Structure 1
């Protein structure tokens, strides 16, 4: 007898923590199902989708780079939020074989910020470093939450294009990443009832990558600093932010949050989030 299963696809995919996360939750809930990792190349993506569509045991997949946009034309339906973001990271198979694409990155990113977002602010500003695939969901999510955005990238034109596409109604700004490297003597206004976020949405600071070069004189007092890098989990950006007494959010928060949304779509049960502390230990040991 076969068992239902879901999986994560990408190229590469060996580094993915998704099998550990979903496997942990399946075990806690006693659900008789599997979650796997499957290496899928760009050339093999269409054949993969066709074969899984025909498999009644396949519940769907999480999608990592480089397939988040390439998979969209191969699906039957795109959830409106994913269509607006322009990227799919979760595919769900219905019983009739139709495939729907979702983006769980945006709600996963916002989840750890919810206590802050539930407060009333006079003004909200986010400085976002990076204009790649991860930034798409983050820009869209924060624009919907009333933030004025400053997106910093090596190519400011790329950042400007993302803002024009994803957040056309705000007075947002695109700047060079290097703008934040040297110290500044800018005098910040009184930040009472202002929510400031500083977000690394780039691979900088990841193991094997150069560090993110940001001088903290550019970081407003009372900012929350969020780094989506998961390896290492405690990045130099977060370490310095904590040393300065700022609130921090690490990459596992977004990873677990987005996985929980996908898990319920795949297996029909809410992820058992009361075990988050134990799950974090599993993922970091």
Structure 2
């Protein structure tokens, strides 16, 4: 391992903002800094003052910031511009600071495009969620040619808007199964929702592919039930790794090798 320089006045700071921070991003980025000998450090934060936090990024010269729920849409008016990846779906998961100019990107979209690229476009799916990550996933599925889909969301306005954008259907609650089930809600996430299933057990038992955007735990109740029924699982950790790699490249301009990415991902998975 190369090892990065000692932290000093020239060290660049990158960070994340989330309502419920985890360790995956910090461990992944910091491990790659070590492996590539980069003078960067990464730290995760929670906030109840989003405008203040974004102002701090600008004022303190923070190089980059990952944005997680529930800030992916609320952050947009606080930025100076959007890259095409974020403008297309009105959702930001990454901020890049170039001399005080803050540009929003969306690396979730590219990650899901890659992970679902081999799915037959004729596959029918049900997607549970309507927030910023749901927008990225729906856009990725549409880009990969999947046209037969249902958006499940209790918020009718948000759910219908997302469904209408891509010609999908909307339902308030899951009513019928599909070969591809996608969870983009906190159901199954560590904390109050840890034991919750994202879909009824009967729907899960008949699906063939299960994608869960929840990053931790890597195996949610939904994914455990789906794999027990013989379905292929796409985990939130896989999504997190691919999108974090894209963030890393945006922040540093450096491209790690596949072996370095695999090592950083394994290191990040080793702690909750």
TM-score by length of 2: 0.84
Quote the offset at 1:283 in angstroms: 1.8
Distance 1:122 1:78 in 2: 29
For residue 131 of structure 1, what is the aligned residue in structure 2?
A: 130
Question: Match of 1:97?
Answer: 100
Residue matched to 2:141 = 142
Pick one of 156, 175, 178 that aligns with 1:179.
Answer: 175
Given the superposition, is the C-alpha separation of residues 151 and 259 from structure 1 closer, same or farther in structure 2, using an over 3 Å criterion?
same
CA contact (8 A) 1:225 1:247 kept: yes
Q: Classify the secondary structure of the residue corresponding to 1:179.
A: coil
CA contact (8 A) 1:205 1:236 kept: yes
Q: Distance in 2 between matches of 1:63 and 1:123?
A: 32
For residues 214-258 of structure 1, give each alpha carbon's deviation from its aligned partner in whole angstroms, at most 9, with x where no partner exists.
Answer: 23457666x221111223221222222222222111110011111
Structure 1 CA distance for aligned equivalents of residues 121 and 115 of structure 2: 21
| Residue in structure 1 matched with residue 13 of structure 2 by the alignment | 5
Specify the alignment match of 2:55 in structure 1.
Answer: 50
User: Quick check: 1:128–1:150 contact (8 Å CA) kept in 2?
Assistant: yes
Aligned to 2:25: 18
Aligned runs of 1:189-204 on 2, under 5 Å? 196-204=179-187
Change (3 A) 1:70 1:212: closer
Give me the CA root mean square deviation.
2.5
> Between Structure 1 and Structure 2, whose CA radius of gyration is higher?
1
Which residue of 73, 77, 91 corresponds with 1:73? 77
Q: Partner of 1:109 in structure 2?
A: 112
Distance 2:51 2:169 in 1: 37
Equivalent in 213, 222, 231 of residue 237 of structure 1: 222
SS in 2 for 1:124: coil
Instruction: Give the unaligned 5+ runs of structure 1.
Output: 189-195
Distance 1:19 1:215, change over 3 A: same
Aligned pair count? 258
The answer to whether 1:40 aligns with 2:43 is no
Q: Distance in 1 between matches of 2:51 and 2:203?
A: 48
1-structure distance, mates of 2:60, 2:174: 49
Query: Equivalent residues in 2 for 1:224-263 (5 A)?
Result: 224-263=209-248
Q: Does the 8 A contact of 1:199 with 1:226 survive in 2?
A: yes
Once residues 258 and 153 of structure 2 are traced to their aligned partners in structure 1, the CA distance between those partners, rounded to angstroms, is 35
CA contact (8 A) 1:82 1:102 kept: yes
1:12 CA displacement: 4.1
How high is the TM-score relative to the length of structure 1?
0.80
Q: CA distance change for structure 1 residues 252 and 122 in 2, over 3 Å: closer, same or farther?
A: closer
Residue 6 of structure 1, CA deviation? 0.9
